[in-house]
Structure 1
């Protein structure tokens, strides 16, 4: 089986990535590596909601999602951002196919436990890995927007980190790469912020408890932890602006923070 990995990237992070990042993606694809991309788009969703005068809020880092908000979420994620990423990948000469989790029931979901508080936010119950495998077998890079669906046809807004972790686990890939605008998980050592090269699941929980990991990094590392308890061996958090970052993360190591079981 060819080497595969799942890459999660925020929409705003992807928009700021240099052309070299997409050229590297092409080189990896040509060398036989098969990437799968799951993307977010929170800032773009917030901007569009503001322009339309639709109010929204957050509970524990998850967007309160009414039916009206859900329309915008799907429009921005599955439309604007998904196609922008596909265009950038194809601009580098690589081949990409953009889908949302609704297409072919790629991401099956149910309401999160506190849905009465935050609306149509979903947790993943299944992933149609067969469709993703088929896209990769045709030598296309699947680019997936994290909108899920249930058997009744209801759509759900799904946290992109959570969706990427579920896709990685269901595909059984060894490695998930989380591309961000930071070089990894940072800790203050001897008065200086330094990247931690390796962190265990147990250490992650302790760092969340102590407040060393906070804000938007919490869902990233929690998704990593969920992913590792599935079939994934490690999750690597890296900065997309670092030259050659994907090749280093996939083949060489020594970049970002590796999160491992223990």
Structure 2
């Protein structure tokens, strides 16, 4: 059995088809793969912040998080969104158990180096993998919201892609990002073309020339960091394509696979 951390953000959360959740359950029941879900919820957080007239802004794809913003982040992610994902997996015939990174110190965190700019945005320093494995051993699919806990009980808003990468590193798991696009897209001969495979150095070049921008930046950076630290493989897959998740786990060429430079050159 192999672990696979599956992460999707708030931009696809409301629109993912029921068939996708059925595929997650099928994967779990197959006995070959053990899925661990990490979710975001950015648009829903922004919506509630706007309703409450709380200012929100982003720097390099990360939300600037004051204590007031953090309260709302936790309420949306660990409350509404987490339980929504658990319900949808149950509706698809599966067993799911929802937790946040705060519960059982699942995600121990510290402030990022850019804390003066970003506020209470954290980076993961330790994952309580025994807690995750305990949930799995009880027959449940873990559903994790990316809120971390640090020294003195301080909570941190952790980018979902960063949290997913940290969890995958701790478990030696594959990592699959679910998107609403086929993968990393580049312009070729005036047309948008999907990259089937992209290397670390190519990702860095695509960030520099702004082909990769906004929320995709933390995603690909988390992917590269994970590959350097124990993650066997990272993929970006369109969750709206039928059977895309199952095809990916069966080794069929879907989405974009992100690999280290030496792996890329060996495959050529």
Tell me what 1:214 maps to. 213
Cα drift, residue 219 of structure 1: 1.1
Query: Which residue does the alignment assign to 1:157?
Result: 157
Instruction: Quote the offset at 1:190 in angstroms.
Output: 2.1
Using the alignment, how far apart are the partners of 2:161 and 2:10 within structure 1? 12
| Coordinate RMSD, CA, aligned | 1.0
Give 4+ residue runs of structure 1 displaced > 6 Å after superposition.
Answer: none
Once residues 27 and 59 of structure 1 are traced to their aligned partners in structure 2, the CA distance between those partners, rounded to angstroms, is 38
Query: TM-score under structure 1 normalisation?
Result: 0.97
Counterpart CA distance in 1 for 2:238 and 2:94 is: 21
- CA apart distance, 1:249: 1.0
Q: What is the correspondence of 1:1-262 to structure 2 with a 5 Å cutoff?
A: 2-32=1-31, 33-173=33-173, 175-262=174-261
Q: How many residues align?
A: 260
SS at structure 2 position matched to 1:165: helix
8 Å contact from structure 2 (residues 60, 214) kept in 1? no
Distance 2:89 2:212 in 1: 32
Match of 2:265 in 1: none
Contact conserved, 1:101 with 1:148, CA < 8 A, in 2?
A: yes
Deviations 1:88-136 (A, max 9, x none): 0000010000000000000010011121222111011010001101111
Unaligned runs of 5+ in 1: none
Comparing 9-18 with 146-155, greater Cα deviation is found at: 9-18
**1:223 deviation in Å?**
0.8
Please give the secondary structure, in 2, of the residue aligned with 1:108.
strand
Distance of 2:123 and 2:21 partners within structure 1: 30
Can you give the 5+ residue segments of structure 2 that lack an aligned partner in the other structure?
Answer: 262-268
State the 1:160 CA deviation. Answer: 0.5
Paired residue secondary structure (1:254): coil
The structural deviation recorded for 1:229 is 0.8
Contact 1:234 1:261 in 2 (8 A): no
Deviation at 1:14, TM superposition (A): 2.3
TM-score under structure 2 length normalisation:
0.95
Cα distance in 2 for partners of 1:167, 1:115 equals 22
Following superposition, the deviation at residue 213 of structure 1 comes to 1.3
State the Cα deviation string for residues 43-88 of structure 1 (Å, max 9, x = none): 1001001111111222222111111111000000000000000000
Separation of aligned partners in 1, 2:20 and 2:206: 31
Tell me, in whole angstroms, the C-alpha distance in 2 between the residues paired with 1:40 and 1:134: 23
